[in-house]
Structure 1
Amino acid sequence: MTEHGARPVRVLIVDDHAVVRRGIRAYLEVLDDIEVVGEAVDGQDAVDKLETMAAHRELPDVVLLDLLMPRLDGSATTSRITSTYPRVKVVVLTSFGEMERVRAALAGGASGYLLKSAGPAEVAAAIQAAARDDVFLDPAVARRLTQEIVSPSTGLSALTERERAVLSLVATGKSNKAIADELVISERTTRTHVSNVLRKLQLTSRTQAAMVAVHEGLVPPQN
């Protein structure tokens, strides 16, 4: 039994550099709980391959993609994937020079992001987190982005005590089900609280909410 369930997490790798794809594939394929089901050379190729996979009911659980690619870049690809295949999670690979694209990818529904310098363990952790519908934040990228997020104290003060508790748990990477279990509330109520938090803080994703929680000291930053 894997952490994701009875089968490994299925991953599609998307990068326009063959050596990068092969490198990622090489260290993912030694893991029992992750299965690489394909590669794509750019965003458009990824969209085409997903369409074929969907027709055969063989969609991956997670797409791991580079942000800077020809034809269809990572942020546009992310939006296309999450809108067409809501159950497919996207984890983006980035560098410090691509913060604008990171913001676009987050707005487009990316479940996490990590630097291209990340080691095998970090990449695997990000993939597993995305498959669980959790948030994975590369600490260095998170610190860079939180400096750019406007989070007035009036926004946080508008949250109820329960909403602040939910926000803190979101930032620790817990899924709606895990939050519901911990707070002894229904999963539907949890979803409502998360929606209210995003609305009150004028954010567009759980990932952004997690960064605000870390920035405001509600939870310690990830190591």
Structure 2
Amino acid sequence: MGDPVRVSVVATDPVLEAGTRSALAASPEVSLSPCTAPEVAGDARVAVVVADQVAPSVLDLVREIRDTPPRPEVVLVVADLTPAEALHAVASGVRGVLRRREASGARLAHTVLAVAGGDCTVPIDLLGELLGTGCEPPAAATAWSANGLSERERAVLRLVADGMETGEIARELCYSTRTVTTVVHDITHRFRLRNRAHAVAYALRAGLL
């Protein structure tokens, strides 16, 4: 086992912050930082932001955290959210999204570790619902349709959509983890997408998965 992932918790309410820190403290793979925003970027690899809703002020906080070196990844925990709000959060730099009722200590720690490892996680039910949000720019859907995806790219994205992490996808498809990472990077770079969740949502919208 490697060193614990350094995590900072930023909450809009002191009670929420205390509860989140208590939930994460049970995981030996997580090390809690005493820092809070704007100092959160000082020593944390992942910042967990806890709020009631995906408000503009919360997205501004996410952007501030992501723009401050060394640019920690962000997990957002909110009471509830719509598909459009999830997409806005991802577009603002969030790499992990959880509803508060789903954020048990184990689930939250798992999400933090996944994000620290380069994965992006969104509640699986929201990926399908994103089809109906109308948030995708028309030009992006045209680009997907015109250029398409290779069978290998589709296979990787299908497993991403199923909630699998990089290592699990590599084992399922008999690829190296580097190959899986490269495939996802190529897709996001080619179509100017932000991350894995963005890529899956766009592929679903374009009917390629």
Please indicate, yes or no, whether the TM-score normalized by the shorter chain is above 0.5.
yes
| Equivalent position of 1:120 in the other structure | 105
Q: Residues of 2 paired with 1:82 and 1:66: CA distance?
A: 15
Structure 1 counterpart of 2:114: 129
Q: For residue 155 of structure 1, what is the aligned residue in structure 2?
A: 144
Flag the structure with more relative contact order, 1 or 2, with Cα contacts below 8 A and sequence separation at least 6.
Answer: 2
Does 2:64 align with 1:80? Answer: yes
Specify the alignment match of 2:155 in structure 1: 165
Preserved CA contact (<8 Å) 1:67 1:75: no
1:1-223 → structure 2 map (5 Å cutoff)? 1=1, 5=2, 7-38=3-34, 40=36, 46-47=37-38, 49-50=39-40, 53=42, 59-67=43-51, 73-85=57-69, 88-97=72-81, 100-118=84-102, 119-148=104-133, 150=136, 155=144, 158-171=148-161, 172-175=163-166, 179=170, 184=175, 187=178, 193-198=183-188, 203-212=193-202, 218=209
Q: Could you list the per-position Cα deviations for residues 84-109 of structure 1 after superposition, in whole angstroms to 9, with x for gaps in the alignment?
A: 33652110112435655433321122
Give the distance between the partners of 2:34 and 2:57, measured in 1 at CA.
Answer: 18
For residue 25 of structure 1, what is the amino acid of its counterpart?
A: R
CA contact (8 A) 2:157 2:200 kept: yes
Deviations 1:142-163 (A, max 9, x none): 4443432548598267112232
Between the aligned partners of 2:131 and 2:70, the Cα distance in structure 1 is 26
Q: Counterpart amino acid of 2:108?
A: V
Is the alpha carbon distance of 1:105 and 1:85 closer, same or farther for their aligned partners in structure 2, counting shifts above 3 Å? farther
Gaps of 5+ in 1: 41-45, 54-58, 219-223
TM-score by length of 1: 0.69
Distance 1:179 1:87 in 2: 27
Query: In structure 2, do the counterparts of structure 1 residues 23 and 194 end up closer, same or farther at CA, with 3 Å as the change threshold?
Result: same
Amino acid of the structure 2 residue aligned with 1:35: S
Length, aligned pairs only: 200
TM-score (norm 2): 0.73
SS at match of 1:26: helix
Change (3 A) 1:142 1:158: closer
The alpha-carbon distance between structure 1 residues 195 and 131, as it changes in their structure 2 partners (threshold 3 A), is: closer
Worse-matched range after superposition: 110-119 or 154-163: 154-163
Kindly indicate whether the alpha-carbon contact (under 8 Å) linking 1:113 and 1:138 is maintained by their aligned counterparts in 2: yes
Aligned counterparts of 1:166 and 1:206: Cα–Cα separation in 2 = 10
Identity %: 25
Deviates more, 1:139-148 or 1:16-25: 139-148
Contact 1:11 1:62 in 2 (8 A): yes
Answer with 77-86 or 12-21: which moved more.
77-86
